[in-house]
């Protein structure tokens, strides 16, 4: 049995590659390297360079490697950017899902794990949001594209019941499971702070007037290695014919503010600094914390790594990349 990991050369995808291989699962990676890095994929892992929006690239990845299941991570994130570029996000995320599902149906594949997002909830009306909370009011085109993709998967499976599937709704993914796999996104909090600190600049904080305990956004942070393990469990259940519900939150079930993250950064890096306080960015909800009860009950999965390990591992990986590349590696 072989799993296709779309977007497997990205920060999250590369960790899932390592986790699948550690679990003895064969994988092949499809990635167009628009945001991923070729060197993040081990040399002995089959790699197809191409986009999920390209039917021919998808066909090559599926047919040349005997794929039996798919973990679909490829797509664009960054809620704030999606407000400025909605058409790009809909093409990459929604059209990409459509093309992939067309190939899945044509081949009769029956296992599918979708990389979704807590953005589908928008700003929840409850302190800790469960999977059955109301969706349909995302704050950004990015969140909308993830929700539409979930609906596409659901609707296709309704007419092709052999397609067993689940969507994993990520909360804020941080940290590193290996020194050579650092998050380099220019939009994510951890790499933005670490880049500023290594450049002698003040880290920016967007929004200090949210209705939270210190005025900054609250997020549910989860270590990327814990997230990768959740994918292994989901794929294993589908391989074994065990049931999965349509959606699972993947987080710790507790929230941390941006300023609390910066306090942890000071402690782990030993660098003292004062943040550069900026206005809010469009598309950023004030608070998102996810209930982790469903995934714990069904999968027996819980996030094991705390905030200290998240920050420490991210700092170690960032230093490694600066030392070896002078910055992010080239694709």
Q: What dihedral do alpha carbons 153, 240, 172, 9 form, nearest 10°?
A: -80
What are 274's two structure tokens?
């004062």
Provide the token pair at 19.
Answer: 């986790």
C-alpha–C-alpha distance, residues 102 and 90, integer Å: 17
Catalytic-labelled residue, pool 11, 142, 170, 221: 142
- Rounded to whole angstroms, the Cα distance separating 49 from 38 reads 9
Q: Residue 39 phi/psi, 5° resolution?
A: -75, -10
Q: Which of 11, 21, 76, 74 is nearest to 46 (CA)?
A: 21
CB 8 within 8 A of CB 27: yes
Which uninterrupted H or E stretch holds 71?
Answer: strand 67-72
Asked if 95 and 149 touch (Cβ cutoff 8 Å), the reply is: no
Question: What is the token pair recorded at 200?
Answer: 């002698």
Note if 142 is an active site residue.
Answer: yes
The DSSP H or E segment spanning 249 is strand 247-250
Q: Tell me how crowded residue 22 is: count the other CB atoms within 10 A of its CB.
A: 11
Please, which residues have CB within 8 angstroms of residue 92's CB and are 6 or more apart in sequence? 51, 53, 74, 75, 76, 145
Range list of H helices, the chain: 11-22, 55-63, 79-84, 86-89, 96-107, 141-159, 189-198, 224-239, 258-269, 293-299, 307-325
Q: What distance in Å separates the CA atoms of residue 98 and residue 11, rounded to the nearest whole number?
A: 23
- Residues with a catalytic annotation lie at 142
């Amino acid at each position: 049995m072989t799993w296709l990991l779309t977007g497997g050369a990205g920060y999250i995808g590369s960790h899932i590659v390592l986790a699948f291989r550690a679990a003895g699962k064969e994988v092949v990676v499809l990635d167009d390297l628009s945001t991923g890095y070729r060197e993040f994929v081990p040399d002995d892992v089959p790699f197809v360079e191409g986009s999920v929006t390209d039917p021919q690239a998808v066909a090559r990845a599926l047919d040349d490697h005997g794929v039996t299941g798919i973990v679909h991570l490829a797509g664009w994130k960054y809620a704030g950017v999606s407000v400025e570029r909605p058409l790009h996000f809909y093409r990459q995320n929604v059209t990409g899902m459509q093309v992939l599902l067309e190939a899945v149906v044509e081949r009769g594949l029956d296992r599918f794990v979708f990389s979704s997002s807590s953005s589908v909830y928008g700003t929840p009306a409850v302190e800790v949001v469960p999977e059955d909370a109301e969706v349909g009011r995302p704050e950004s085109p990015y969140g909308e594209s993830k929700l539409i993709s979930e609906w596409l998967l659901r609707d296709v499976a309704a007419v092709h019941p052999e397609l067993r599937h689940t969507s994993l709704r990520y909360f804020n993914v941080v940290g590193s499971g290996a020194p050579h796999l650092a998050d380099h996104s220019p939009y994510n909090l951890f790499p933005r702070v670490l880049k500023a600190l290594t450049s002698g600049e003040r880290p920016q904080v967007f929004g200090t007037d949210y209705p939270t305990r210190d005025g900054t956004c609250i997020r549910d942070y989860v270590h990327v290695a814990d997230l990768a393990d959740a994918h292994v469990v989901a794929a294993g259940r589908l391989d074994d014919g065990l049931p999965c519900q349509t959606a699972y939150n993947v987080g710790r079930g507790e929230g941390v503010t941006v300023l609390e993250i910066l306090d942890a950064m000071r402690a782990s890096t030993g660098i003292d600094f004062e943040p550069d306080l900026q206005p809010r960015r469009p598309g950023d909800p004030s608070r998102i914390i996810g209930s982790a009860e469903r995934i714990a009950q069904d999968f027996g999965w819980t996030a094991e790594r705390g905030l200290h390990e998240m920050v420490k591992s991210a700092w170690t990986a960032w230093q490694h990349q600066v030392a070896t590349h002078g910055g992010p590696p080239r694709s």
